[in-house]
Amino acid sequence: MKKIFALFLIIIATATSGCALTKNTVKQNNPNKIIEQAQENKASIIVNGQNYSAEFPAGATGYDFLVLLSKQTDFKFNGIDYGGDLGFFVNEVNEIQNTNEKYWVYYINGEEAQTGISTYLIKPNDTIEWKYEESIY
């Protein structure tokens, strides 16, 4: 009788651990979760109505994102890296250069940026819009 009871416990323990393993495997391989994770580090840039989107690595700056997009799409930019606190200054986007009257300004999620593009850390689902605006200086 003890042997039958012990065998019964072994069968139940094996079946239960198999169910738990299957349950965890299904959770980890959930395609919806994988898609959600991929979209977590995705951002967009808008220039003159053209939308450019891409995934970015954690810790990427706005400048890093510009470089990434220029390699993956037809987005183009040019500028000068002043280094230090000044950082990178964009003076051309998609072959339109700054002038004495107009220059490129970027907005983050509809708000004018308060930091340079090379110091801004991109966040998931950010929309950066580059606008060619009249100079107020």
Mean of pLDDT values over 4-16: 40
Q: Residues 6 or more apart from 68 whose CB is under 8 A from it?
A: 54, 56, 60
Which domain, by its residues, includes 19? 2-35
Residues 54 and 24 in one domain: no
Tokens for 17? 């651990």
pLDDT digits (tens, 9 = 90+) for 21-34: 333 333 445 544 44
Same domain, 77 and 126: yes
**Shared-domain flag, residues 58 and 29:** no
| Tens-place pLDDT, residues 38-63 | 457 899 999 999 999 999 999 999 99
**What is the model's pTM?**
0.69
- By residue count, the chain amounts to 137
Q: Are residues 25 and 56 in the same domain?
A: no
53 and 77 both lie in a single domain: yes
Indicate whether 25 and 48 sit together in one domain. Answer: no
Are 106 and 55 part of one and the same domain? yes
Q: Please check whether residues 50 and 103 belong to one and the same domain.
A: yes
Please tell me the total count of domains within the chain.
2
Identify the DSSP state of 97. E
Judgement on whether residues 30 and 10 belong to the same structural domain of the protein: yes
